[in-house]
Amino acid sequence: MSLDNFLREMDERQSREYSQLLLFDTDDTAQWSDPKKQYFVRVFYHTRGHFDRLLWTRLVYAPTAKDKRRILDYMAEEAGLEGRKNRPSHERLFAVFAESLGVDLTPEITEGEDYLPFARDFNNGLIQWFRKNDWESGEVGFAAYERLDNVDYEFMYKLAQSVRVPERAMVFFRVHKEARHFEKTSGNLPQVWRRNEDKVRNAFDFIYNHQLKMWKGLSDAVGKYNG
């Protein structure tokens, strides 16, 4: 099997799994009450708001100056710096979405009242996997994580549309749906595939399955909420 076919099969499998989740049933999400929308925002925040831990882990354990500079460039883009352009950070874009639904994220950032066990397990599991695997596996895993963004945010974009937020609140989802971070992080992937196909398969299997488990946890948590 070619690398391209493998990647396509992984994406298609993931999309099929996502389509079975209540979280991504826009007929259901369009009926959410305002309190349920706000609960979703607070819980969802913790599935992406701790990404800085992963980036810091990658940075401080990077083996070469070139690797460190590449991660710093990535972090700069997350912060909204693209060359000489200064744009809102991804964190700020998410805050705009939250605020459009009446949610101030400060209590979640400082106290984490809705940092549920499934989200904590997701974040800790990522750190553990990247810490215990070699750097090259980590590069493959990070490329898988970035590729999955495009799959995930196709679904998340439709969810955000269904809860009827203003266009300015959609920017966070549009940016991630259209991002091409995979192309920027997958430079060595073809060589690794030719040399050690199992290393690529194992990294993608972990990242995709770990992400699916997280979405199932979020879907279950929001589905059970009756506030």
Supply the pLDDT for residue 84. Answer: 84
Say which DSSP state 64 is in: S
Supply the pLDDT for residue 50. Answer: 96
Supply the pLDDT for residue 191. Answer: 94
Supply the pLDDT for residue 180. Answer: 74
Supply the pLDDT for residue 179. Answer: 75
Supply the pLDDT for residue 98. Answer: 98
Closest CA to 186 of 172, 156, 207, 211: 207
113 and 107 Cβ atoms separated by less than 8 Å: yes
Spatial distance between the Cα atoms of 82 and 85, rounded to a whole number of angstroms = 5
DSSP H or E segment with residue 81: strand 81-82
Domain region containing 62: 3-224
Per-block mean pLDDT, blocks of 10 residues, the chain (227 long): 95 98 98 98 97 96 94 92 90 97 96 97 98 96 93 96 96 88 77 96 98 98 93
Supply the pLDDT for residue 187. Answer: 72
What CATH number is attached to the domain comprising 211?
1.20.910.10
Please count the structural domains in the chain: 1
41 and 98 Cβ atoms separated by less than 8 Å: yes
136 and 199 Cβ atoms separated by less than 8 Å: yes
Supply the pLDDT for residue 129. Answer: 98
- Residue 112 Cα distances to 14, 83, 108, 140, 158, angstroms: 29, 34, 4, 31, 27
Spatial distance between the Cα atoms of 35 and 226, rounded to a whole number of angstroms = 9
- Sign of the torsion formed by the C-alpha atoms of 79, 146, 108 and 225: positive
Pull the structure tokens for residue 47: 């599935």
Supply the pLDDT for residue 178. Answer: 82
Closest CA to 170 of 180, 162, 178, 160: 160
Phi-psi region of 83 (alpha: psi -120 to 50; beta: other; left: phi over 0): left
Q: Please enumerate in sequence order all residues whose Cβ is within 8 A of that of 148, keeping only pairs 6 or more positions apart, or say none.
A: 14, 207, 208, 211
Q: Supply the pTM of this predicted model.
A: 0.94
